[in-house]
Amino acid sequence: MEVQAQAKWVRTAPRKVKLVADALRGMPVAEALIYCKFIPKASARDVAKVIRSAQANAEHNFNLAKDDLVVKDIRVEEGPTLKRARPRAMGRYFSIFKRTSHITAVVEDRPGAVRRRPVAPPRAARPAPAPAAQPAAPAADAPPSSRGRAPKQASAAKAERETKTEKTEKPSATRAAKKADSEQPKKGKKK
pLDDT digits (tens, 9 = 90+) for 42-101: 999 999 999 999 999 999 999 999 999 999 999 999 999 999 999 999 999 999 999 999
Question: pLDDT confidence of 183, banded at 50, 70, 90?
Answer: low
The residues spanned by each domain of the chain are 2-109
Q: Would the pTM of this model clear 0.75, i.e. be above it?
A: no
* Mean per-residue pLDDT over the chain, rounded: 82
Q: For domain 2-109, give the CATH number.
A: 3.90.470.10
- The mean pLDDT value for 119-132 works out to 63
Write down the H helix ranges in the chain: 14-24, 29-38, 43-61, 156-168, 171-183
**3-state DSSP assignment of residue 55:** helix
More confidently predicted of 145 and 163: 163
Reference 12, options 85, 82, 92; nearest CA is 82
Give the per-residue pLDDT at 30: 96
More confidently predicted of 114 and 50: 50
Q: Which residue(s) pair with 28 in the sheet?
A: 70
